[in-house]
Structure 1
Amino acid sequence: SVKDKVEGSNVPADVNGIYEIVINGLDAKVISEAMLAGIKAAVQIPGMKKITAGNFGGNLGPHKFNLHDIVK
């Protein structure tokens, strides 16, 4: 990992990778379904620390997704 090579890194010592997944879809329903499938797969990975999402100020598209709503 490059975290030890980046001065001032905020990556915790026990984290070895951070992934950014971009999901494109035709409508909110299929995007939500894809996000749920990804979350369900990710939580099966041993050592998974955290799953988050950013909305980038809502500038990436017409939909905003709340992870808590998706996993209900």
Structure 2
Amino acid sequence: VRSGSKVGSRYAFMRASTNQAYCPTLRGRVETALDPDIGSVQEIVIDGLTSSAVANAMKAGLAALIEAGPRGGCLRVGAGNYGGQLGQHHYHLKDLLP
């Protein structure tokens, strides 16, 4: 079962850790941000040489997820900002929709 990650950890040597609110296996132990029908969270990391390359990759990914839809297992799409700690660019999903 997958989960999302977050910047920071209780351990200084780790830059990122599990985002417990998006971890289905912790449901019932910690506060969750997931609906009851969500069984896993897939986190896709996109790196690119230019902002437009990243935006185009995100557009392609969103188009594929929309095409798959609930029947293909895609129930919800979201994005994290992480307070700008992971880069200078900020992408709004609504601006990248096909």
TM bracket, shorter-chain basis: 0.7 to 0.9
Question: Which structure has more RCO (C-alpha within 8 Å, separation ≥ 6)?
Answer: 1
Unaligned runs of 5+ in 2: 2-22
Count how many residue pairs are aligned between Structure 1 and Structure 2: 71
Cα RMSD between the aligned structures?
A: 1.9
Matches of 1:27 and 1:12 in 2, distance apart?
35
Q: Normalization by structure 2: what TM-score? A: 0.62
Runs of 4+ that moved beyond 3 A = none
Matches of 2:59 and 2:38 in 1, distance apart?
23
Residue number in structure 2 paired with 1:13:
36
Partner amino acid for 1:28? S
Seq. identity, %? 32
| Structure with the higher strand share, 1 or 2 | 2
Q: CA deviation at 1:42?
A: 1.3
Q: Normalization by structure 1: what TM-score? A: 0.81
